């Protein structure tokens, strides 16, 4: 299928999904309806939540660019999706700048406090369980969101914090209606939330239960935190009152008298906060079907793993194959790429990561040669990318998958000038580490459980100042220097397979972006079973089982958003129609 044919198909199918007259209306003129797909011109925003998308559109219509709008939308998500993301966490932002057709990534992943050691999560000669490690001050990394936002605004934006945080301050003060997702996320962690006095006061009803669906939730402490940052910039978080409160909360979790769990103290200090930086890094890039695919490099494993899998898949014309055969290759390419991810990926500021080797076509050709017409026994061993890497090295001796965060958020933004942002950020698990910073209304992350803390000598082992490996995969695809697609998703290590499957759906199978996102998903991460949604199993389990694949059901995989760029300036913004309650897509000038 040619690029022009794909574009025409995308436009045709996307237009069918849009209900005319319901999108792009500001709250001051009419009631806005949440829609998962929007088509039009000018800028676009796709996120998991209506108020966040509205904030992005509000900034775009006020003259802001894609970076300004991304920060505004992300800040609102920190209020309305506080169990997935926020200023107590961090993320990765991929920025395309139209003026010079460049792609830059901003790494604001959390860092381990300087006092952390490889055995910091060990007691009595053995590693803590994930739960014991998570629900503690130990799991809190130095947050990066605010420093990352400031870096993005200073280098690529046109507005200041005081402008971009205004919508979030308004939502935090005035409140928003609790939906089923918000209620369910709190209900799932009530037993831990009620251990921490500040978390109990902020996020639970007076009777100690999750806020009721349909009730109004307000967070005036969060509004105060944003107001301080709006006035002082990142210093408002990393120095002074908020910083002091974060350190105290991590070092001495504020327990209720009847707390029924052990909460271990953490190592975060004021010096850790004051020293945090959000570096710009080169993107991880590969060529696929004549397109340039840009993702996030280390400490994220997203760009390298998805990129390696695409290089493997490049050897087959997936769109011309029977679908079950193409899906078999997709699953196997993912498994082999995950074997290499688990062996080699870590923070490249601390360990040698053979990124060029992992992303080389020669290494992918070697891995593809191992893939047959039936599923290989899992787990498959890692390959050796070092011969394809400048310099020298050796095969890693231990491979570790790591637990990976389940709850994250992704938003995708573009503007009228052609700039694009693909942004994934998180506090790791649902509710982070469960500790709300007293007086400031936001949860700390548990990102340090993304280290392979059971291994004392691995590329992703714990070390002070190090950033844990991530699976976040914000992605931008270009053709001849211009955007074709931007996409990303939450979902822990299944983020990588979600983004990879959406790319295959859209670029190989000719699906529109909305259909690519809505399609049933499967995830093979070099494990015995393929994790798959029920609809995928219903459609494809029988022919894939005949090839040796076995399956385990996963209720939902990911909650993606994206933007497709069509001829004549048209854009299609797309979010989930059902997963995680359905997302919100808006365009500046709807058709």
- Percent of the chain surpassing pLDDT 90: 90
Side-chain-side CA neighbours of residue 238 (13 Å): 21
How far is residue 128's CA from residue 448's CA, in Å, rounded to a whole number? Answer: 13
Per the CB < 8 A criterion, the answer to whether 458 and 398 are in contact is: yes
- Domains and their CATH numbers in the chain: 52-110+121-279+403-566 (3.60.20.40)
Give ∠ CA 114-77-532 in degrees, rounded to 5.
Answer: 85
Query: Catalytic residue among 408, 412, 426, 430, which?
Result: 408
Query: Alpha helices of 275-424 — where are they, by DSSP H?
Result: 302-313, 323-344, 355-358, 361-368
| For helices 302-313 and 361-368, angle between their N-to-C axes, nearest 10 degrees | 60
pLDDT category, 3, cuts 50, 70, 90?
very low
305 pLDDT higher than 90? yes
Cα-trace Rg, the chain? 22
Sheet containing strand 522-523, strands side by side: 522-523, 530-532, 551-553
pLDDT at 269: 98
531 pLDDT higher than 70? yes
450-490 pLDDT per residue, tens: 999 999 999 999 999 999 999 999 999 999 999 999 999 99
Check whether the bond before 213 is cis (ω within 30° of 0).
Answer: no
Taking the model in full, what pTM does it have?
Answer: 0.93
Closest CA to 327 of 495, 530, 474: 530
Q: How far is the CA of 350 from the CAs of 141, 303, 324, 464, in angstroms?
A: 16, 19, 41, 10
**Average pLDDT value over all residues in the chain:** 93
Cα 428 from chain centre:
9
Q: Is 408 a catalytic residue?
A: yes
197 pLDDT higher than 80? yes
pLDDT at 32: 75
How far is residue 199's CA from residue 436's CA, in Å, rounded to a whole number? Answer: 5
Query: Alpha helices of 47-179 — where are they, by DSSP H?
Result: 50-61, 66-80, 130-134, 145-156, 161-164, 166-174
Give ∠ CA 370-376-379 in degrees, rounded to 5.
Answer: 105
| For helices 323-344 and 361-368, angle between their N-to-C axes, nearest 10 degrees | 120
pLDDT at 337: 98
SS3 107: strand
pLDDT at 318: 98
46-59 pLDDT per residue, tens: 999 999 999 999 99
117-166 pLDDT per residue, tens: 999 999 999 999 999 999 999 999 999 999 999 999 999 999 999 999 99
SS3 423: strand
- Give 13-33 as a DSSP string: HHHHH--TTSSS--TTTSPPP
Pair of tokens at residue 443: 């949860």
Per the CB < 8 A criterion, the answer to whether 295 and 474 are in contact is: yes
**Taking residues 403-416, what's their average pLDDT?**
81
How far is residue 86's CA from residue 77's CA, in Å, rounded to a whole number? Answer: 7
- Count of other CB atoms within 10 angstroms of residue 567: 11
**Taking residues 240-266, what's their average pLDDT?**
98
How far is residue 92's CA from residue 148's CA, in Å, rounded to a whole number? Answer: 8
**Taking residues 574-581, what's their average pLDDT?**
96
- Count of other CB atoms within 10 angstroms of residue 387: 14
- Count of other CB atoms within 10 angstroms of residue 282: 11
């Amino acid at each position: 299928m040619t690029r022009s044919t794909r574009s025409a198909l995308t436009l045709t199918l996307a237009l069918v999904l849009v209900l005319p007259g319901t999108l792009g209306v500001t709250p001051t003129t009419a009631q806005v309806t949440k829609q998962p797909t929007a088509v039009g011109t000018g800028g676009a925003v796709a996120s998991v939540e209506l108020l966040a998308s509205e904030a992005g559109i509000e900034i775009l219509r006020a003259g802001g660019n894609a970076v300004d709008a991304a920060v505004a939308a992300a800040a609102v998500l920190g209020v309305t999706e506080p169990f997935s993301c926020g200023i107590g966490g961090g993320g990765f932002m991929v920025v395309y700048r139209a003026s010079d057709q460049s792609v830059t990534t901003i790494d604001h992943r959390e860092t381990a406090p300087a006092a952390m050691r490889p055995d910091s999560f060990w007691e009595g000669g053995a590693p803590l369980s994930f739960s014991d490690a998570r629900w503690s001050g130990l799991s809190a990394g130095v947050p990066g969101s605010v420093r990352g936002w400031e870096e993005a605004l200073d280098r690529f934006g046109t507005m200041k914090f005081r402008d971009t945080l205004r919508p979030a301050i308004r939502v935090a003060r005035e409140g928003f209606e609790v939906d089923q997702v918000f209620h369910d996320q709190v209900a799932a962690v009530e037993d831990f939330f009620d251990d921490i006095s500040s978390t109990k006061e902020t996020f639970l009803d007076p009777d100690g239960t999750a806020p009721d669906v349909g009730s109004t939730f307000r967070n005036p402490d969060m509004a105060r935190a944003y107001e301080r940052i709006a006035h002082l910039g990142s210093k408002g978080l990393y120095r002074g009152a908020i910083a002091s409160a974060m350190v105290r909360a991590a070092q001495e979790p504020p327990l209720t008298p009847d707390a029924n769990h052990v909460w271990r103290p953490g190592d975060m200090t004021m010096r850790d906060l004051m020293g945090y930086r959000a570096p710009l890094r080169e993107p991880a890039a590969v060529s696929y079907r004549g397109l340039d695919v840009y993702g996030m490099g280390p400490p994220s494993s997203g760009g390298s793993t998805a990129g390696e899998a695409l290089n493997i898949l490049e050897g087959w014309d997936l769109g011309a194959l029977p679908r079950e055969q193409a899906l078999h290759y997709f699953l196997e390419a993912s498994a082999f790429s995950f074997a290499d991810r688990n062996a080699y990926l870590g923070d490249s500021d601390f360990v040698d990561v053979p990124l060029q080797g992992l992303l080389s076509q020669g290494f992918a050709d070697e891995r593809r040669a191992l893939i047959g017409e039936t599923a290989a026994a899992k787990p498959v061993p890692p390959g050796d990318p070092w011969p394809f890497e400048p310099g020298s090295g050796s095969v890693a001796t231990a491979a570790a998958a790591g637990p990976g965060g389940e709850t994250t958020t992704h938003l995708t933004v573009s503007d009228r000038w052609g700039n694009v942002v693909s942004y994934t950020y998180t506090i790791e698990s649902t509710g982070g580490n469960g500790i709300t910073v007293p007086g400031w209304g936001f949860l700390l992350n548990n990102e340090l459980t993304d280290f392979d803390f059971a291994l004392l000598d691995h590329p992703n082992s714990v070390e002070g100042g190090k950033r844990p490996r991530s699976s976040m995969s914000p992605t931008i695809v270009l053709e001849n220097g211009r955007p074709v697609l931007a996409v990303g998703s939450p979902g822990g290590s299944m983020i990588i397979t979600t983004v990879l499957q959406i790319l295959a759906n859209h670029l190989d199978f000719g699906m529109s972006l909305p259909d690519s996102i809505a399609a049933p998903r499967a995830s093979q991460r070099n494990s015995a079973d393929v994790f798959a949604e029920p609809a995928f199993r219903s459609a494809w389990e029988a022919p894939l089982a005949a090839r040796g694949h076995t399956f385990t059901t996963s209720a939902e995989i990911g909650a993606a958003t994206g933007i497709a760029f069509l001829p004549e300036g048209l854009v299609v913004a797309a979010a989930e129609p059902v997963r995680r309650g359905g997302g919100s897509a808006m365009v500046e000038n709807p058709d």
